Copies of this chain bind each other. A is one copy, B any other.
Amino acid sequence: MITNKRDDVLEAALLLFAERGFDGTTIPMIADKAKVGAGTIYRYFENKEALFNTLFQYWVTRLSEIVKDNFPSDLTNIRLHHRHIFFQIIQFVNHNEHALHFIDSHCSTHYLDEKSQKLFADFLEFLRSILEKGKEQGDICSLPADALIAIVYGAIVQLFKLMRMNILEETPELLVNIEECCWNAIKAH
């Protein structure tokens, strides 16, 4: 199989950044895991920060795409929207178990560049717009959209942390129940 060195580097970096954070990950560590010389990394990326931002932008774009993909055509059924978003994020995590934690643990750090920040802000803005519509319709409880996002998104992130640590086993049934819990948290009562 022909593997592309640049991709090998990105894959190794994702694992390490997710597990040890930006500052806890060294270039030699990445080179080792990618089975590549340390110098090779600098053929593809200007420096450690540029590598980091490339990776961040890639995964935020993916997440954004997967959530927006096949978005329910019925624009008034918020219950459906919530289910869609929830299970698309699940699919995202199942596609790469480290990416969500990588994004979450670095989304407000000081080495994010302009473009990374903008991509992430845009994604949040999308979620916000969905929730605002739900609030207008009276289907969702009338708290600030950011608070609602924090509740659902915070729960998801924390749950997958447990699953990555093998403390909690992911089963389809559990996921359905958890989605229900999240919905109960934010629906209008």
Residues on A lying within 8 angstroms of B by beta carbon are: 20-24, 105, 108-110, 141, 143-144, 146-147, 150-159, 161-162, 165, 167-168, 174, 177-178, 181-182, 184-187, 189
State the main secondary structure of chain A at its contact with B.
helix
Residue contact B23 to A165, C-beta cutoff 8 Å: no
Cα A146 to Cα B167 with chains together (Å)? 8
* Number of copies of chain A assembled together: 2
Cα A184 to Cα B15 with chains together (Å)? 35
Residue from the list B23, B141, B185 in contact with A24, Cβ < 8 A: B23
Residue contact B151 to A155, C-beta cutoff 8 Å: yes
Q: Return the chain B residue nearest A144 by Cβ.
A: B168
Residues of B within 8 A of A153 (CB): 158
Residues of B within 8 A of A157 (CB): 154, 158
Residues of B within 8 A of A162 (CB): 146-147, 150
Residues of B within 8 A of A184 (CB): 184-185, 187, 189
18 A-B pairs with C-beta separation under 8 A: A20-B109, A21-B23, A21-B24, A23-B23, A108-B161, A143-B181, A144-B168, A146-B167, A146-B168, A150-B159, A151-B185, A154-B158, A154-B159, A155-B155, A155-B185, A181-B186, A184-B189, A185-B185
